[in-house]
């Protein structure tokens, strides 16, 4: 064969050849690929099902209120109203105050003996709701008992006004509407956290196995030395491998998010109010938010992997990275303070913050996204350059 049959190929052409070979290598590793992809697809729905079930049980308990009443016979109309609202009325034990203090009872409704007389005299009739508000567990029962009594009060008052020919609105100049700005510490936030966390985690887990195989694995097999004697720069090799790993990582992230999307939108979930939306708009936002990480993490893994003489060594190096990525959102969840503004610069942390914002239905400002992407993009370039430099080292490429 003469030299004239060779065509001159540029950097892009060589990188494309490397990407093609690396992707073939990834796809051929059936077991690793299937495990990674199946985990990505299944984990989201499984976790969601568990959490939603738990939440549904709690909601069920709140709805099925058992209300011990002291003096039920004093206000038969009120009791009838409560029973119509699916409240199970039971007779309160005589020592109910002590029991509430001990935490055996959540809430007790005590109706005064002169209830009927007060009503007849046109005076406000007294009912007492006895509880211990310091008990978290009791809060749902207290809140619903209060709401029911308020509703009864309103209904009764409205009827009186109507009887006197007055529009009920006259008596309620204030229209109070609850706007729940639930922060992650509050109810339902666990699901919110989980979806954001899992999306984040997928961008790391998706690339570990393939990145290490393409780096430490290649060192271990001793295929780097002859490869680097071909007309190929180490930067081209690093970029080619990074693109292949990144493409696979993106696939894992997309599958994970698709799992959440399909579960939340089409699965027969227990009927509870999920405190956020995860529709196609959120799906797109999620992918956009995670994109900087899908670039950064494979680049970092490439560098860390190349530092390992063997697959095993590289795996233990990577566990530090896994620890950091998995702990950051948890720390943020438990730091119940408002996040400082600089946090949006920090990789992983900024992505987590934006993900939770997207879940709450906020539109992500371009400026915020750019801020969250700035450092990951710089670090990606740095990691790729460092990886290329490592590949030039004799002890790295000649490892056997």
Residue 19: what are its φ and ψ, rounded to 5°? -60, -45
Among 118, 155, 223, 310, binds other proteins (CB under 8 A): 223
- Please answer whether residues 207 and 248 qualify as being in contact, where contact means their C-beta atoms are separated by less than 8 angstroms: yes
Of residues 9 and 284, the one with the C-beta less far from other proteins: 9
Among 124, 178, 226, 268, binds other proteins (CB under 8 A): 226
Q: Minimal distance in Å, beta carbon 393 to other proteins? A: 9
Give the x-and-dash track for 183-222 against other proteins (CB under 8 A): -----------------------------------x--xx
Name the DSSP letter for residue 88. E
Within 10 angstroms of residue 161's Cβ, the number of other Cβ atoms is 16
Integer-rounded Cα radius of gyration of the chain: 31
Of residues 16 and 41, the one with the C-beta less far from other proteins: 16
Among 42, 320, 331, 398, binds other proteins (CB under 8 A): 398
Of residues 33 and 54, the one with the C-beta less far from other proteins: 33
Cβ burial of 43 (10 Å; 0-12, 13-18, 19+) is middle
Residues 14-43 that bind other proteins (CB under 8 A): 14, 17, 21, 24-25, 28-29
Q: What angle do CA 217, 210, 231 make, to 5 degrees?
A: 60
Q: Minimal distance in Å, beta carbon 246 to other proteins? A: 20
Among 229, 271, 341, 366, binds other proteins (CB under 8 A): 229
According to the binding rule CB under 8 A, does residue 248 interact with other proteins? Answer: no
Of residues 68 and 399, the one with the C-beta less far from other proteins: 399
* Non-local CB neighbours of 255 within 8 Å, separated by 6+ positions: 37, 40, 41
According to the binding rule CB under 8 A, does residue 389 interact with other proteins? Answer: no
Q: What span, in angstroms and rounded, lies between the C-alpha atoms of 300 and 310?
A: 17
Q: Minimal distance in Å, beta carbon 9 to other proteins? A: 5
* Non-local CB neighbours of 88 within 8 Å, separated by 6+ positions: 64, 65, 66, 67
Q: Minimal distance in Å, beta carbon 221 to other proteins? A: 4
According to the binding rule CB under 8 A, does residue 6 interact with other proteins? Answer: yes
Of residues 102 and 221, the one with the C-beta less far from other proteins: 221
Q: Minimal distance in Å, beta carbon 13 to other proteins? A: 8
Which of the stretches 80-88, 138-146, 225-233, 303-311 binds other proteins when contact is defined by CB under 8 A?
Answer: 225-233
Of residues 175 and 395, the one with the C-beta less far from other proteins: 395
Residues 298-327 that bind other proteins (CB under 8 A): none
Q: Minimal distance in Å, beta carbon 23 to other proteins? A: 12
Among 73, 188, 231, 372, binds other proteins (CB under 8 A): 231
Task: Find the DSSP H helices in the chain.
Answer: 11-28, 30-63, 76-84, 96-102, 115-120, 139-163, 168-171, 189-214, 216-221, 224-228, 234-266, 280-307, 311-334, 349-359, 366-391, 394-397
| CA 278 to chain centroid | 11
Q: Minimal distance in Å, beta carbon 247 to other proteins? A: 17
Among 49, 190, 232, 274, binds other proteins (CB under 8 A): 232
Number of residues that bind other proteins (CB under 8 A): 33
Q: Write down how long the chain is.
A: 400
Q: Minimal distance in Å, beta carbon 290 to other proteins? A: 29
CA atoms within 13 A on the CB side of 105: 22
Of residues 17 and 189, the one with the C-beta less far from other proteins: 17
Q: What span, in angstroms and rounded, lies between the C-alpha atoms of 277 and 264?
A: 9
According to the binding rule CB under 8 A, does residue 230 interact with other proteins? Answer: yes
Q: What angle do CA 303, 309, 312 make, to 5 degrees?
A: 95
Residue 69: what are its φ and ψ, rounded to 5°? -120, 135
- Please answer whether residues 48 and 264 qualify as being in contact, where contact means their C-beta atoms are separated by less than 8 angstroms: yes
Beta bridge partners of 69: 91, 109
Of residues 2 and 316, the one with the C-beta less far from other proteins: 2
Q: Which residues sit at the interface with other proteins, rule CB under 8 A?
A: 1-3, 5-9, 14, 17, 21, 24-25, 28-29, 218, 221-232, 394, 397-400
């Amino acid at each position: 064969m003469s030299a004239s049959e060779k065509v001159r190929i540029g950097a892009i052409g060589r990188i494309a050849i490397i990407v093609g070979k690396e992707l073939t290598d990834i796809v051929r590793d059936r077991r690793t690929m299937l495990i990674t992809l199946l985990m990505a697809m299944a984990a989201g729905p499984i976790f969601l099902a568990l959490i939603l079930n738990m939440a549904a049980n709690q909601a069920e308990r709140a709805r099925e209120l058992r209300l011990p009443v002291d003096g039920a016979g004093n206000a038969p109309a009120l009791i009838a109203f409560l029973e119509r609202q699916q409240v199970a009325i039971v007779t309160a034990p005589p020592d109910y105050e002590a029991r509430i203090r001990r935490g055996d009872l959540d809430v007790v409704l005590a109706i005064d003996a002169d209830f009927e007389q007060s009503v007849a005299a046109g005076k406000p009739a007294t009912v007492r709701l006895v509880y211990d508000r310091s008990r978290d567990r009791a809060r749902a029962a207290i809140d619903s008992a209060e709401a029911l009594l308020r509703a009864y009060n309103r209904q009764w008052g409205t009827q009186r006004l109507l009887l006197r020919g007055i529009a009920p609105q006259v008596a309620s100049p204030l229209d109070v509407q609850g706007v729940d700005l639930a922060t992650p510490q509050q109810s339902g936030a666990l699901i919110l956290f989980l979806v954001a966390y899992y999306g984040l985690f997928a961008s790391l887990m998706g690339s570990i196995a393939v990145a290490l195989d393409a780096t430490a694995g290649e060192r271990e097999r001793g295929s780097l030395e002859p490869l680097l004697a071909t007309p190929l720069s180490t930067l081209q090799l690093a970029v080619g491998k990074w693109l292949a790993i990144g493409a696979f990582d993106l696939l894992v992230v997309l599958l994970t998010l698709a799992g959440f999307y399909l579960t939340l939108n089409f699965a027969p979930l227990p009927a509870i109010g999920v405190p956020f939306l995860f529709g196609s708009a959120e799906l797109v936002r999620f992918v956009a938010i995670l994109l900087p990480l899908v670039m950064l993490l494979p680049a970092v893994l490439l560098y860390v992997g190349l530092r390992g003489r063997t697959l095993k060594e590289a795996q233990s190096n990577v566990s530090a990275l896994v620890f950091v990525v998995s702990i950051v959102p948890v720390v943020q969840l438990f730091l119940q303070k408002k996040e400082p503004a600089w946090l949006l610069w920090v990789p992983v942390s900024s992505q987590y913050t934006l993900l939770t914002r997207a879940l709450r239905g906020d539109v992500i400002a371009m400026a915020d996204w750019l801020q969250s992407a700035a450092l990951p993009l710089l670090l990606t370039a740095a990691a790729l350059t460092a990886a290329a430099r490592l590949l030039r080292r004799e002890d790295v490429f000649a490892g056997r």
